[in-house]
Chains A and B, each alone.
Chain A
């Protein structure tokens, strides 16, 4: 709620009366929280799935109406292409998993580095984090696509690095930056009394961090972390721009192969349905987790 400060008038301490509704403070807090996490909170609902399905059927209907006789039905066409699209989708998921894993791992250390006692470490970490947060995701993707070699030789073994792997690194960079901010925010939200209590029990800094502070942070970090994953999954379609064989690329291939008018709405809503089917359970799980680990600020 609006912060109530003790104001002193004529010697007596009195509470400051709020001047705006609590909703206003909530909006600002949400905005600042979203600024820290780097993206807006996401709320998928069942009704979205219903509307998507309707859009899909509408698209099929429109395409069916536009096409004359002699063309196979829309649903048959989509069914024909589904195996290819599914293979593409697997890549989307793989990219999202790996990018999340790598980004979380790196971001964790980057976030912890920001509370280091050494000023140069803090500064470098802060700079790195903001550098990658300010960069658009597509630019970072390009960066990795072009600058990571297509194969690397280590211990005499040549390992080829396919396109989708480069995309993984490309997307892991912004994830790392955002996770760093989430971690930093979570650590800083632990009250200083925890640190003081640990110090009075003769814990050193590293022990305090790993045994007391970080376990408490995990709960606070989960909801924004899962929100980040949902956004990352949606962003994997960016990889189609750099030529990775994921679902979007396959869809575009299918569309140009079919070269039938008006298939766009049907195919795109089909793609979105797949993403929805994947993201919706995650969104619901996030809501449950948030409710369970609701943190009072």
Chain B
């Protein structure tokens, strides 16, 4: 790989395009870690937000009014406020509660994950709930009449159908989540934006790093969008849809 790095050094010397993230080992490592942190935040938050969404959708169908109201206000609170304020609230307000004399018990990365997961989870609850409610009652009755137990009905009919119906909306949300991970910059989480800002303040190559950043996000988000579209097409229910 050394010849590749050397080429970038040559590029800097001839054209002034200073891509230290390639030819300088330290910056290379930093940027790679930043990229991985963005990916890590995205993946973990996607998984957690889906879990929160599933649990929330299930609770929303419960018979207890208290639980339903609680979920309703959770959704409204997280949907209608800026995610930045939510992040600050988790990190500063709740963070101060979880701080002992020795220092904070919960890292900023964890708070970022918690905050973003709840943010995306709020949208997911509504999405999954709508998906579940879109399965016709008669289809469920037909399954019952065939002798499926309640769990079998849920596993083989409700869940596959609700999932396929929810997928486009879920994908929108997940793509948005990947873009929202940049907010973690505000609480000094070393994701791609933060790391890039460190690099450009060290190496003074702001325009170059900015462009690299834009390209990276374009590729990352573009890939997610592409995969999501492929997935949607693969699980499409024929005869239903727009």
Contact = CB atoms under 8 A, between A and B. Distances in A.
B4 interface: no
A252 B172 CA distance: 32
Nearest to A236: B82
A258 to B, nearest CB: 13
B217 A139 contact: yes
A20 B123 contact: no
A139 B213 contact: yes
B99 to A, nearest CB: 12
Given A29-B242, A44-B80, A134 B89 contact: no
Contact of A35 (B172, B181, B218): B172
Contacts of A238: 82, 84, 183
Interface stretch (B14-22, B24-32, B233-241): B233-241
Given A135-B217, A147-B207, A21 B168 contact: no
Contact of A237 (B84, B93, B225): B84
B176 interface: yes
Contact of B210 (A20, A27, A146): A146
A3 B130 contact: no
B123 A40 contact: yes
- Name the residue in A23, A27, A261 with the highest tally of chain B Cβ atoms < 10 Å from its Cβ: A27
Contacts of A21: 133-136
A16 to B, nearest CB: 7
Given A138-B182, A248-B84, A265-B93, A23 B134 contact: yes
Given A48-B80, A237-B82, A138 B135 contact: no
Contact of B179 (A18, A136, A147): A136
A19 B89 contact: no
B131 interface: yes
A171 to B, nearest CB: 13
Contact of A139 (B136, B165, B182): B182
Contact of B239 (A19, A31, A35, A261): A19
A294 interface: no
Given A23-B133, A135-B217, A135-B218, A42 B80 contact: yes
A31 B135 contact: no
Contacts of B92: 264
A142 B198 CA distance: 13
Interface in A121-146: 130-131, 134-140, 142-143, 146
Given A20-B136, A265-B93, A272-B81, A138 B239 contact: no
24 contacts: A18-B240, A20-B134, A20-B136, A25-B240, A25-B242, A27-B131, A27-B165, A29-B242, A30-B169, A31-B169, A39-B176, A40-B79, A51-B77, A131-B218, A135-B214, A137-B182, A147-B206, A234-B81, A238-B183, A240-B84, A241-B186, A264-B93, A265-B89, A272-B85
Interface of B: 73, 76-77, 79-82, 84-85, 88-89, 92-93, 96, 123, 127, 130-131, 133-136, 161, 165-166, 168-169, 171-173, 176, 179-183, 185-186, 193, 197, 200, 206-207, 210, 213-214, 217-218, 221-222, 225, 237, 239-242
9 nearest CB pairs, A to B: A24-B134, A31-B169, A31-B168, A134-B221, A136-B179, A136-B182, A264-B93, A138-B182, A23-B134
